[in-house]
């Protein structure tokens, strides 16, 4: 099918959603045709370095051979099975997830997306505590199902009517733009106190849980200070409430450790995994302790979707974990992250527009400003650099409260040459567009 014909059909038959890029409209952007490792090609034969890892689900590299083999083998045995009974790949994956987690994370339940894994985490927390109030950060993004839209304050929920009730926004400890104008560590404790006050007032001092990402990704690649996480955990436990980490973007090796909670040194009570858990296939997991799981199940916790324990997806999940552990991919993520942040620091010395550099391993961002002193966000420039990148073979995304954070999520397969080429394209983009 010719490009124009495909675009015409897409416009005619696909319901347009605002998730399509609003910087380069889908009808002007590439039609993705095929991919391999860290590269993607469009129908016109143009090549792109993919620093979005697909939709962050191909972090093992596009078309990972181990995942392809599992698809071939398992689809000849059992693709889908009843969720009423156990199947072997489901049990195997649950055991494997327990084996890569630190104690006491032993119990998993599976879903098909990041959204449903977070919905499950909220449901488990509510059942286990017998309470309802959930806190999430003002810059949060945890999915776009109705329930997770309610805890995604960085996404627009305007015009969708009532969503999940008893959900409260807590200030984000965004140290580069501290809401309390405090400097350094003082910044993280003020939002914590303010957030807990809101949660206490709204819940009569009895919240069920707070959900956060250790690095707030779509909200602008904001690393939560360890002191904030420590304080949040301590204060929630003091109130009999639970801490949930959405590790869709920070788990499974990406930050240089197997999980974000290891990178930040503070454990949650429930963690969720999705994105590259299936190596490109749709599967998610909500993982918790025996104690929390027992409390939820004692109260008749019920959940499950038709595809929630599909043997094919579960096998891919186990293969994805094997790929990471056997190749120590978390170490490669740390190397890639170091090379990339070193390059970004060099660019920062040359270009005033790079105000801040954040993130770790395979999840990094640079915040663009018009003036380093006033930190006036360079939103238009971010859009122009994005366009330049796409035109010249580099895909990444633009995120954050002011749409001025360039977010880079390269796959584990990214070579040093590809990293350096991506830096070159980025530098040319900044040089050309910053006027």
Ligand X SMILES: Cc1ncc(COP(=O)(O)O)c(C=O)c1O
DSSP, residue by residue, 20-64:
S-SSS-TTTS--EEEEEBTEEEETT--EEEETTHHHHT-TT-BT-
| List of E strands, 250-351 | 270-273, 284-289
Which range in 141-149, 289-297, 312-320, 411-419 contacts ligand X by CB under 6 A?
A: 141-149
Nearer to ligand X, 116 or 433 (CB): 116
Q: How far apart are CA 321 and CA 279, in angstroms?
A: 9
Q: Is the dihedral of CA 280, 286, 288, 293 positive or negative?
A: negative
| List of E strands, 232-292 | 242-246, 270-273, 284-289
Binding residues for ligand X, how many (CB under 6 A)?
Answer: 14
113 binds ligand X (CB under 6 A): yes
Q: Provide the minimum distance between the beta carbon of 232 and ligand X in the complex, in angstroms, as a whole number.
A: 17
Q: Provide the minimum distance between the beta carbon of 276 and ligand X in the complex, in angstroms, as a whole number.
A: 11
Q: Provide the minimum distance between the beta carbon of 106 and ligand X in the complex, in angstroms, as a whole number.
A: 23
Contact with ligand X (CB under 6 A): which of 142, 233, 295, 407? 142
Return the structure tokens found at 188. Answer: 């993280």
Site string for ligand X, 202-221 (x = CB under 6 A): -----------x---xx---
Q: How far apart are CA 40 and CA 54, in angstroms?
A: 9
Contact with ligand X (CB under 6 A): which of 49, 248, 329, 429? 248
Contact with ligand X (CB under 6 A): which of 51, 141, 228, 264? 141
Q: Provide the minimum distance between the beta carbon of 320 and ligand X in the complex, in angstroms, as a whole number.
A: 15
Q: Provide the minimum distance between the beta carbon of 56 and ligand X in the complex, in angstroms, as a whole number.
A: 6
Nearer to ligand X, 375 or 401 (CB): 401
Q: Provide the minimum distance between the beta carbon of 432 and ligand X in the complex, in angstroms, as a whole number.
A: 30
Q: How far apart are CA 363 and CA 18, in angstroms?
A: 24
DSSP 299: T
Q: Provide the minimum distance between the beta carbon of 83 and ligand X in the complex, in angstroms, as a whole number.
A: 19
Which position has the token pair 């006036």? 376
Q: Do 71 and 318 meet the contact criterion of CB atoms below 8 Å apart?
A: no
State yes or no: cis peptide before 104, omega within 30 of 0.
yes
Q: Provide the minimum distance between the beta carbon of 162 and ligand X in the complex, in angstroms, as a whole number.
A: 21
Q: Do 413 and 37 meet the contact criterion of CB atoms below 8 Å apart?
A: yes
Contact with ligand X (CB under 6 A): which of 50, 223, 246, 330? 246
Q: How far apart are CA 296 and CA 126, in angstroms?
A: 8
Contact positions with ligand X (CB under 6 A) in 71-100: none
Which range in 21-29, 138-146, 332-340, 384-392 contacts ligand X by CB under 6 A?
A: 138-146
Which range in 100-108, 136-144, 184-192, 313-321 contacts ligand X by CB under 6 A?
A: 136-144
Which position has the token pair 């001092």? 205
Which position has the token pair 């994805």? 320
Contact with ligand X (CB under 6 A): which of 90, 115, 263, 364? 115
292 binds ligand X (CB under 6 A): no
Comparing every residue's Cβ against ligand X, the nearest one is: 114
Contact with ligand X (CB under 6 A): which of 52, 64, 263, 274? 274
Distances (CA, A) of 175 to 163, 190, 356, 373: 30, 11, 10, 15
Which position has the token pair 């002193």? 373
Q: Provide the minimum distance between the beta carbon of 341 and ligand X in the complex, in angstroms, as a whole number.
A: 21
Nearer to ligand X, 89 or 114 (CB): 114
Q: Exposed e or buried b for every residue in 93-122, given b needs 16+ CB within 10 A?
A: bbebbeeebeeebbbbbbbbbbbbbbbbbb
Chain positions contacting ligand X, by CB under 6 A: 113-115, 118, 141-143, 213, 217-218, 246, 248-249, 274
């Amino acid at each position: 099918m010719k490009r124009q014909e495909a675009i015409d059909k897409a416009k005619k038959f696909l319901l347009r959603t605002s998730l399509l890029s609003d910087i380069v409209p889908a009808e002007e952007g590439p039609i993705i045709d095929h991919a391999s490792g860290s590269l993607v090609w469009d129908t016109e034969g143009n090549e792109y370095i993919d620093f979005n890892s697909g939709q962050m689900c191909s972090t093992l590299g596009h078309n990972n051979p181990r995942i392809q083999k599992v698809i071939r083998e398992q689809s000849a045995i059992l693709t889908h099975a009843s969720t009423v009974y156990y199947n072997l790949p489901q049990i195997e994956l649950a055991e494997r997830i327990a084996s890569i987690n630190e104690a006491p994370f032993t119990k998993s339940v599976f879903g098909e997306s990041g959204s449903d894994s977070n919905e499950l985490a909220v449901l488990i927390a509510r059942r286990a505590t017998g309470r309802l109030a959930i806190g999430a950060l003002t810059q949060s993004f945890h999915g776009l199902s109705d329930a997770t839209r309610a805890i995604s304050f960085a996404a627009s929920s305007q015009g969708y009517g009532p969503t999940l009730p008893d959900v409260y926004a807590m200030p984000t400890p965004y140290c580069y733009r501290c809401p309390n104008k405090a400097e350094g560590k003082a910044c993280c404790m003020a939002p914590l106190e303010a957030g807990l006050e809101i949660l206490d007032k709204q819940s009569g001092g009895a919240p069920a849980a707070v959900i956060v990402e250790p690095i707030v990704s779509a909200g602008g690649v904001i690393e939560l200070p360890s002191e904030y996480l420590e304080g949040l955990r301590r204060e929630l436990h003091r109130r009999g409430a639970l801490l949930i980490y959405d590790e869709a973007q920070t788990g499974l090796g990406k930050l240089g450790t197997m999980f974000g909670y290891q990178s930040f040194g503070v454990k949650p009570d429930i963690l969720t995994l999705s994105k590259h858990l299936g190596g490109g296939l749709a599967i998610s997991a909500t993982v918790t302790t025996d104690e929390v799981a027992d409390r939820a199940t004692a109260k008749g916790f019920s959940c499950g979707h038709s595809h929630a324990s599909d043997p094919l997806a579960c096998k891919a999940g186990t293969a994805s974990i094997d790929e990471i552990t056997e190749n120590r991919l978390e170490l490669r993520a740390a190397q890639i992250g170091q090379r990339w942040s070193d390059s970004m620091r060099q660019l920062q010395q040359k270009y005033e527009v790079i105000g801040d550099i954040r993130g770790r391993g395979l999840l990094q961002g640079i915040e663009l400003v018009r003036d380093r002193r006033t930190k006036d966000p360079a939103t238009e420039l971010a859009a122009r650099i994005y366009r330049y990148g796409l035109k010249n073979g580099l895909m990444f995304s633009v995120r954050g409260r002011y749409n001025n954070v360039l977010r880079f999520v390269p796959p584990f397969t990214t070579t040093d040459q590809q990293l350096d080429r991506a830096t070159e394209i980025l530098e040319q983009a900044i040089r050309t567009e910053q006027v």
